[in-house]
Amino acid sequence: MDRRGSLVESQSGASPSPRNPLLCPDSHMDVQGYRWVYWRVWLCRWGAVLSLGLLLILFHWRPRLAVRARCCSCPLALADVLLLRDSFGQRYVVEVLTEDMEDSSMELVADLEDSDWRDTVQLHREEKTLLRYYLFEGLRYVWLARKGAFCRVSVLNEDWTCNDLYSFQRGLSHLEQSSSVSLYETRKQSTTLRSMAQLVTNVTIRRSSGEEECVSSVELVPGDCLLIPQEGLLLPCDAVLLAGECMVNESMLTGESVPILKTPLPAGEGRYSSQAQRRHTLFCGTQLIQARGGSSDGGGATAVVTSTGFFTAKGDLISSILHPQPINFSFYRDATKFLFFLGVVALIGTIYSLVVLSRSNATWTELVIRALDVVTIVVPPALPAAITTGTIYAQRRLKSQGVFCVSPPRINVCGKVSIFCFDKTGTLTEEGLDVWGVVQAGQAGFSELLPDPRLLPAGPMLSALACCHTVALLEGQPLGDPLELRMIQSTGWELIEPEGDQKALDAEFGGHRVLAVMRPPAQEVSVSEAGAIVRRFPFSSSLQRMSVVTVAPGGRPALAFIKGAPEMVASLSLRETVPEQFSSILRNFASEGFRVLALGYKPLDGKTDWRTLERGVVERDMQFLGLLVMKNMMKPESGEVINTLKLAQLRTVMVTGDNILTAVNVARNCGMMGSDERVMFVHATPQTAQSTPKLRFHLGEGGTQGTMEVLTEGLYQSGISYHLAVNGKSFSALCDYFPEYLPKVLMRATVYARMAPDQKTQLVKELQKLNYRVGMCGDGANDCGALRAADVGVSLSEAEASVASPFTSKSDNISCVPLLIREGRCSLVTSFSLFRYMALYSLIQFCSVLVLYTEKTNLGDLQFLFFDLVLVTLLAIVMGRGGPSEEVHPRRPSASLLAVPMVGGLFLHTSLIVLGQLAALFITKSQDWYVPLNSTKTGAANLPNLEDTSVFALSGYQYIIMAVVVTKGYPYKKPLYHNVVFLCILLILFAVMTWLVLCPGPVFSRLLQLNNIPDMNFKLLIVALAALNLLTCFVLELLIDHGLLSCRLLRGNRPSKKKYKQLDLLLSDCPSWPPLNQALSSAQYTVIGLS
């Protein structure tokens, strides 16, 4: 048996049963088994004691080392401990747990048809009915001997077909619901989920006997038949809709504020997938606003539970929030490394203190306590909390301006964004579109543009505009996609939905189950017939179309209408019905920025059963009707924001599902492309049986330079700036067949059109491979994957917060993007300042303690408390209150804590700190009235004394001085005087320290164990020394900011490590790229062909 494995997928072909758990794979998880070796365990325990816990710290940071030190490798079946490695390279150690199985569960599981579970039961019997499993990120992974792997236990078999789901419409019996391993696992998952995100409600389910029963949602198991009331509910599980239609608000999951109409799952033998059948799936946590058409009286809907607990869509998202993917950000990586650096400093200080104290005849107890003091001083426990202060303030400011954040660490990442991707419709342009007109297709070609669709003659085109939609009524008001609402309004037809007993309405339309009726205006009744929608196939981004089936009064004629992307509808239409001018007409409208949709129709056999009709059958061999032309107006804020980002040298990119020419036009209008800049279209074709993959670049319209000049002189030589435009098909071909050219295209592409949701996600990941920090701004469902994959995802939604992306903006425009960048840079700079301040605070105290140890004394307990609470904590809390600058500076702030200016600056400041404290000590010793301390005592027993008083006075000033020095302002933050609270506290603390130095009074002198020095000139000299320390540190910081430690003279013009900067430099020196009007072949295909 292998000692190393991964989570594998069930290959069982057994018939589906709601009791059979799904062995859902996470193939990216690598698992290695280990067994305890007890003599090694005891040896490690002794090592931890002897190293004073340092070995345990090492094991915590290096879990693989901990496992190998205590265990030996073994087969997974015998493992006590597992070493996991996820797709991000993170390693985790989990213990294999065992649990007794109930005898009744064992008997029922033994009867299941799934051979995997029979094997598991047999294994359990041999092992005294013990279930072996481990827990990881809230999920349970169970050992299956036949597979030789730990498999995640889910609650729905992937082999279930749509027909299988319909078989569960009868409901489950009490025995089926209460006895299965599924329930055993599901209830454990549901309990864990409920403790984090309470969602418990009463629901109605149907039993196999036909009886309806009200139960708590925690009792739901997969296969339960859920009855949804007409008024809707907050869904506590994932379910697939089988009867009726539901209007659903999914803003919590997707950020999409427009409710979505969900339709019944088509019956068939195809495998069910919640993502592929998204428009038929009801997701946990979404609000079902209205349900209808699922019962004989026309009310409610029927669904079958598919997933509960962590296996639901909401559960998966909550799990991703609780266990987010690691943020690959240098600031957080370097913070950990810097702690190791401070640990080395602490080790040096500990050794020094042990040497010094041992010479003073200190006891062993004193030596250990003082050595541990040094460690806690150098590595401050409050450091992690302090550096989050700036992020907390930024999060509050964002919330006050309508931007909500569910992942605060991402705020700092905003400060390093180098490219921002924008969706088009609803993001850069208005959500609603105005109908510009209709162009009908006929035998003679296209007609003239008809501005008002109401002027259309009665016929298929007018009926298609009125009926091909998914708009529904909610309390008498139409609700749905803004585009479809405008389309219906332009026809003047009225939407009517069944109310109460709909048998009369069904009878009017031939006995068909009617979902909605579209009736023409009263004045057109004599020429146009009403149409009843009896079947809907909702819009799919991947399919780029939607369709409906309608019938006229009496049930005839039955017509299918289709609406979608012009290229897609034309490809599904009979060739002879598509006019020859199709491409040129579409190009003309698209290049002018119009949104164009195509419509088609075909008659259907009236005897067809609409409930079992497959989508593919309905949407083929259509007759092309014409084009609907809509004007998509630019949001007034879009151009200003894009210009702001360009001035800040942030690259902007458009990613849309619209036509490529329309996208180019919008890109020019919003400023992504200049009027004098050329557009080049990228055409990549995949390999087919008749042709090899080819890549071509050709010039589009626009720009001021002539084509011949570009071709003869080269793009860079003629001084032309250009942009590439790519569509979804070409992007896929580039990724699959031209990986060597893909980075170059990504570097110059500004428009990505006809992109499916998964392609948007892939684009974000490809840009990240070039070391871009990618931001993505979209308005909802189609952008969810890209929003989550991006380093900074911003969802424009009316929802207060959405788990679809780290940031949700309540504004309906992209004005939040510069705000996020400014707040991110402010937060990052503030985090840097706080980190440096906490490090310098530690080093100041570290120097003070070592200096005083050398003098056989130490700071008093109340002196430590005064520094830590009154000075440092107070300053650290208010230091981050300063707001961001009003402008977005072209240069991004540094994110590396280990950069030369950072580390070198700390070293130089520490040197000035040590010099200042030593100067105060030597000045004190040089005074005529100086009295040496008692050499027979050590530590705090020597207090009060002159040495401690002088060091206390100067170091107190140094804590305040460093707060002033490291607090940065322009260009990322407002100047210091804008942070009024911080400025006032600085002045107060300066006054307090000056008072304690000049005239503390007998009470505070006794309380803080300070020596009362009568010489006022000496006290003023200490204050002057502090002022000199402030001046030198401030000047040093200014020099560092102006490049004192940049080391450019030593290293020269070394190229950047970022791939996109290297590529940009390479393309700038390559005037022949891209090769125009040339067919490039795939290197992979060429190698394969020659071999």
Compute φ and ψ for 1051, nearest 5 degrees. -95, -15
Secondary structure percentages of the chain, helix, strand, coil, to 5 = 45, 20, 35
Q: Which residues of 961-980 are buried (b: 16+ CB within 10 A; e: fewer)?
A: bbbbbbbbeeebbeebeebe
For tokens 């164009």, what's the residue? 596
What is the SS3 string spanning 812-863? CCCCHHHHHHHHHHHHHHHHHHHHHHHHHHHHHHHHHHHHHHHCCCCCCHHH
Tokens 């894009």 locate to 642
Which residues are CB-neighbours of 1064 under 8 A, at least 6 positions away? Answer: 747
**Per residue, what are the HEC states of 489-548?**
HHHCCEEECCCCCCHHHHHHCCCCCCCEEEECCHHHCCCCCCEEEEEEEEEECCCCEEEE
To the query of whether residue 1069 is one of the catalytic residues in this protein, the response is no
The whole-angstrom separation of Cα 511 and Cα 82 is 62
Rg (CA), the chain: 35
Closest CA to 567 of 662, 480, 496: 662
Mode of pairing for the β-strands spanning 403-405 and 807-809? antiparallel
The DSSP H or E segment spanning 904 is helix 900-925
Contacts of 173 (CB under 8 A, 6+ apart): 207, 208, 209
The candidate with the shortest Cα–Cα distance to 666, out of 678, 676, 656, is 656
C-alpha span between 546 and 536 (Å, rounded)? 8
- Supply φ then ψ for residue 650, to 5 degrees: -100, 125
- Provide the pairing of β-strand 419-422 with 774-778: parallel
Q: Are 1060 and 747 spatial neighbours (Cβ–Cβ below 8 Å)?
A: yes
Q: Determine the Cα–Cα distance for residues 1063 and 1082; give it in Å rounded to an integer.
A: 20
Is 1077 buried (19+), middle (13-18) or exposed (0-12) by CB count in 10 A? exposed
Nearest alpha-carbon partner for 864 in 331, 473, 380: 380
What φ, ψ does residue 194 adopt, rounded to 5°?
Answer: -65, -35
Residue 69 DSSP SS3: helix
- Name the active-site residue from 26, 114, 334, 423: 423
What letter represents residue 867's amino acid?
A: F
Burial of 269 (0-12, 13-18, 19+ CB in 10 A): exposed
Closest CA relative to residue 26, chosen from 153, 156, 193: 153
Using CA atoms, how far apart are residues 1089 and 897, in angstroms rounded to an integer?
A: 50
Structure tokens at 980: 């009024």
Contact between residue 176 and residue 19 where contact means Cβ atoms under 8 Å apart: yes
Separation in Å, CA 920 to CA 187, 516, 767, 777, 924: 68, 88, 56, 56, 6
Q: Are the C-beta atoms of residues 872 and 839 closer than 8 Å to each other?
A: no
| Residue spans of alpha helices (H) in 258-388 | 313-322, 330-359, 364-378, 383-387
CA proximity to 271, closest of 153, 114, 164: 164
CA distances from 1036 to 568, 875, 907 (A): 65, 21, 11
Which are the catalytic amino acids?
A: 423
